[in-house]
Amino acid sequence: MSRKGVLVTLAVGAISLIASGCAGTSSASGVGPKIALLLPESKTARYESHDRPDFEARVKALCPKCQIIYLNANQDPAQQQAQGESALAQGAKVLVLDPVDAASAAVIVKQANQQHVPVISYDRLLTNSDIAWYVSFDNFRVGQLQAQALVAKLRSESKGHGSIVMINGSPTDSNAHVFKAGAHSVFDHSGLKIAKEYDTPDWSPDEAQNEMTQAITALGAGGFDGVYAANDGTADGAIAAMKGQGINPATKPTTGQDAELAAIQRILTGEQYMTVYKAVTPEARDAADVAVALAQGKPIPAGLINQHVANGKKSVPSKILTPVAVTKANVESTIVKDHFWTVSQICAGPYAPACKAAGVH
């Protein structure tokens, strides 16, 4: 064989070895299916403190080789749509989607359907869309629990015919409408007067503070007896407004939702009256269970369907969880018992005396 022939033979052999080596590495890596988790925002503390880590931990426990694509839309529907497209382009086999805006998110679902990628509607219902499964809480009941707690508290203070301010959630959030409807189902027959009512863009605590300041300016410090705040972030804003106007928030019972750490601490010190505890860890784990099953081409486990919810497009197999009202009286038996927050987290620093007084230990 000529020198040229030898060189060609060696070169072809080297290329073959390189190619077989690359293929071997890819095969040996054993990479599993990709699952995308698309959350709407981070102003609500639960998403980064519970939803994301609980979901990711469960997926990894069930499917160590599965890859998780995590994206947060920062309350921007256009950004979330781009993130959905990105997840599909990256080869996601399942989308777990908590929509910023249910209407605009329908575009993401349509694109996923075209690629035969199932979509799980997480926490907020994706309406008029062909989704595979929905997990959330009884959101009408959330609003009822908040309103019932506030009505009972004001009646116990002989203010059952007084006035309240309603600080509702984001008008683009399908859940916010349901919370408000649940609350109105109680308030509208309670004898209480709704003196001012606001819908809060993006669930922003700053916007809630502005709204509450406007209400105080219009009504005066004595013109309202309590505050319906749709979640703990809006409660924080409302309470900050009251304090800024020289009003002791302990004299104006304020509701909340999500059992954020700061809210539990405010409840123990008396600044906030109640919150609604939603067991986010089971919600995130259930979503992970279904996501892994769908990513592996398996059916949704039967135990993860307890009802069907109409979303305008179909009757969606769903897992609906039960919310719980939390006041100072049952922080120990709910939040602490479930390890949602630890005693050391709740009772840190200046909150130790309040914990002791409430029997949280």
With 0-12 / 13-18 / 19 or more C-beta atoms within 10 angstroms meaning exposed / middle / buried, residue 248 is: exposed
258 and 345 share one domain: yes
Helix (H) or strand (E) holding 71: strand 67-72
Task: Please check whether residue 40 lies inside any domain of the structure.
Answer: yes
* CATH number (domain holding residue 163): 3.40.50.2300
Condensed to tens digits (0 to 9), the pLDDT of residues 186-219 reads: 999 999 999 999 999 999 999 999 999 999 999 9
337 and 266 share one domain: yes
By C-alpha distance, which of 176, 175, 172, 155 is closest to 164? Answer: 155
β-bridge pairing 324-326 and 275-277 = antiparallel
pLDDT value at position 30?
60
Task: Please check whether residue 242 lies inside any domain of the structure.
Answer: yes
154 and 196 share one domain: yes
**Average confidence score pLDDT of the chain:** 92
pLDDT value at position 211?
98
Locate 216 and state its tokens: 């105080």
Query: What does residue 356 show for φ and ψ, rounded to 5 degrees?
Result: -60, -45
Structural domain of 160: 139-277+325-358
| Rounded mean pLDDT, 224-233 | 98
72 and 103 share one domain: yes
127 and 272 share one domain: no
41 and 105 share one domain: yes
Long-range (24+ apart) CB contacts under 8 A made by 337-341 are 338/279, 338/281, 340/50, 340/259, 340/277, 340/279, 340/280, 340/281, 341/259, 341/261, 341/264
206 and 314 share one domain: no
218 and 294 share one domain: no
Task: Please check whether residue 206 lies inside any domain of the structure.
Answer: yes
Measured CA angle at 348 (ends 344, 354), to 5 deg: 105
Q: How many domains does the chain have?
A: 2
Instruction: Return the axis-axis angle of helices 205-219 and 232-244, rounded to nearest 10°.
Output: 40
pLDDT band at 10 (very low <50, low <70, confident <90, very high): very low
pLDDT value at position 135?
98
